[in-house]
Amino acid sequence: MKFGGTSVGDAGRLRAVRDLVQTALPRAPVVVLSAMSGVTNTLFDAARAAERGDEKAVRKCQRELVERHRRAAEELFGGELPERLAADLRERFDELRILLRGVSLLHELSPRSLDAITSMGERLSTQVFAHFAAADGLDVEFVDVRAVLRTDARFGAARPDEVALRKLAAEHLVPRVRPGRAIVTQGYIGATADGLTTTLGRGGSDYSAALLGAALGAEEVQIWTDVEGILTADPRLVPEAMPIAEISFAEAAELAAFGAKVLHPATIQPAVEASIPVTVRHTGRPQGAFTTIRAGVTSERPVTALAARGPVTVLTVDSSRMLAQSGFLARLFEVFGRLAVSVDLVSTAEVSVSLTVEPDAPIPALVDEISRFARVRVEEGRAIVAVVGEHMRRTPGLPERVFGALRELEVEMISMGANEINLSLVVRHDAMPRAMRLLHGQLFAAQRTGDRP
């Protein structure tokens, strides 16, 4: 059971989590918590302020963090904190103060220090929750996930060592898991073989849950959040988006990769490999709708959902002379490989190749390298809109409906994923919300008026 930031955001929500965990006790739950909502952002702000040497801003962040956790804990305990919890929190905050002090003295923030600092949100939220749930009569055991979730040393985007993880889970988790008891542990963070703290990247708690679920052979991975499952689009962009009852691993992976923030993009892989269903549920409405993600869901719907991501940068590489020659694409992509830039969409024509990269890609270096053998044009401020569905390829007329819906907008690039379940378009970033609403209206209106179970 993984609970996201808003689900652990204040005392009231932590009580709801406690109740859900209690209900799940017969199934021997392992509870994976995120940091309280906003806390990871504040930790990043504090670290960057320390790097600039802005002591005032650092203190402000620290005060906010202390306040936030104290307030939640005091509310949960009705005033006075138990001495053990108060001591644990003091210890965490002292550690954070020392880390930030070190950064500000040196004006240097290495990825390794940043991970030590940003791991604190999950370390704090789990402490507060574990103490509260135990005081409230649940059989809970806190396990520091760093003893289990072994990663490499790519700080900020650490990759799990799944072999070590399984071994460590067998050693530290399996003997503790049993019906009637809940294990409480942190999402997002891990540790290297040397014991250095790492993080899995923003939103990584979902990934932690799937990794732990797979290592334990869990019967289900539950992602508890603030929406009733995966919806047909991000409800912040498309308020009329509807919950999806069942979705395939492939579709969910595609949606996550193309911007559906409801799941971290890497979440699906461990679950697929271990054939564990993943469900996405609303912490505030546990009896409401939810989504089950599993292998090979068959549904007749032509389109499952939309996702959008931006801003991205589009590079268009022109080479009237060379494109048709063998080796040109190899040469082009060698540049991206060497500069460690990942490419999302690619679309090729006779004399040009267009591709999208993240806005923080080293554009000047890419342009410099590519210009040695081709012309390259850069367009910033674009967005990718993805239409995802297993049955898309067998639905005649779908491209017409997609382009018809977007008639009034300029579509700059089109790419059909090789797995044929994702049709992606590039539009201007400021037109992305409108593109999503138009597409949703066109592709889901019929489903809304009734021909949907």
Residues that bind ligand ASP (CB under 6 A): 4-5, 34-35, 40, 121, 187-188, 202-205
Query: Binds 235, which of Mg ion, ligand ADP, ligand ASP, none (CB < 5 to 8 A, cut-off by type)?
Result: ligand ADP
Residues 198-217 that bind Mg ion (CB under 5 A): 203
Question: Please, which residues have CB within 8 angstroms of residue 434's CB and are 6 or more apart in sequence?
Answer: 409
Side chain identity at 85, as an amino acid letter? L
Nearer to ligand ASP, 62 or 267 (CB): 267
- Residue 132 or 207: the one with the smaller Cβ distance to Mg ion is 207
Pick 305 or 332: Cβ nearer ligand ADP: 305
- Is 40 or 192 the residue whose CB approaches ligand ADP more closely? 40
Closest separation in Å from C-beta 205 to Mg ion: 6
Q: Cβ 257 to ligand ADP, closest distance in Å?
A: 12
Give the footprint of ligand ADP on this chain (CB under 6 A): 4-7, 34, 203, 225-227, 230-231, 233-236, 260-262, 305
The first and second tokens of residue 294, run together, are: 């599993």
Q: How far is the CB of 264 from ligand ADP (least distance, A)?
A: 8
- Distance (Å) of CA 179 to CA 182, 247, 440: 8, 29, 44
Residue 9: CB minimum distance to ligand ADP, A: 9
Query: Which residue lies nearer to ligand ASP by CB, 121 or 265?
Result: 121
**Least distance (Å) between residue 194 CB and ligand ADP:** 29
Max CA separation in the chain (angstroms): 76
- Nearest distance, CB of residue 270 and ligand ASP, angstroms: 15
DSSP assignments along 256-320, one per residue: HHTT-TTS-TTSHHHHHHTT--EEEEETT-TTS--EEEETT-----S--EEEEEEEEEEEEEE-T
- The smaller minimum CB distance to ligand ASP, of residues 208 and 424, is found at 208
Q: Smallest Cα–Cα separation from 229: which of 172, 292, 171? A: 292
Q: What is the dihedral of CA 114, 118, 123, 124, to 10 degrees?
A: 130
Residue nearest to ligand ASP (CB): 205
For residues 108-135, one letter each, b for 16 or more C-beta atoms within 10 angstroms of the residue's C-beta and e for the rest, the string is ebeeebbbbbbbbbbbbbbbbbbbbbbe
Partner from ligand ASP, ligand ADP, Mg ion, none contacting 121, C-beta within 5 to 8 A by type: ligand ASP
Whether the CB-CB separation of 143 and 181 falls below 8 Å is answered with: no
> What is the enclosing helix (H) or strand (E) of 182?
strand 182-186
Q: Which does 236 bind (CB under 5 to 8 A by kind): ligand ASP, ligand ADP, Mg ion, none?
A: ligand ADP
- Smallest gap from residue 224 Cβ to ligand ASP (A): 12
Per-residue binding string, Mg ion, 397-416, x by CB under 5 A, is: --------------------
Whole-number Å distance between alpha carbons of 413 and 166: 43
What does the DSSP 8-state code read for residue 153?
S
CA 298 – CA 277 distance, rounded (Å): 15
Beta carbon of residue 397, minimum distance to ligand ADP (angstroms, whole number): 24
Q: Is 41 exposed, middle or buried (0-12, 13-18, 19+ CB in 10 A)?
A: middle
Nearer to ligand ASP, 34 or 222 (CB): 34
| Pairwise CA distance, residues 42 & 167, whole Å | 34
Nearer residue to Mg ion within complex by CB, 8 or 149: 8
Footprint on this chain of Mg ion (rule: CB under 5 A): 4, 203
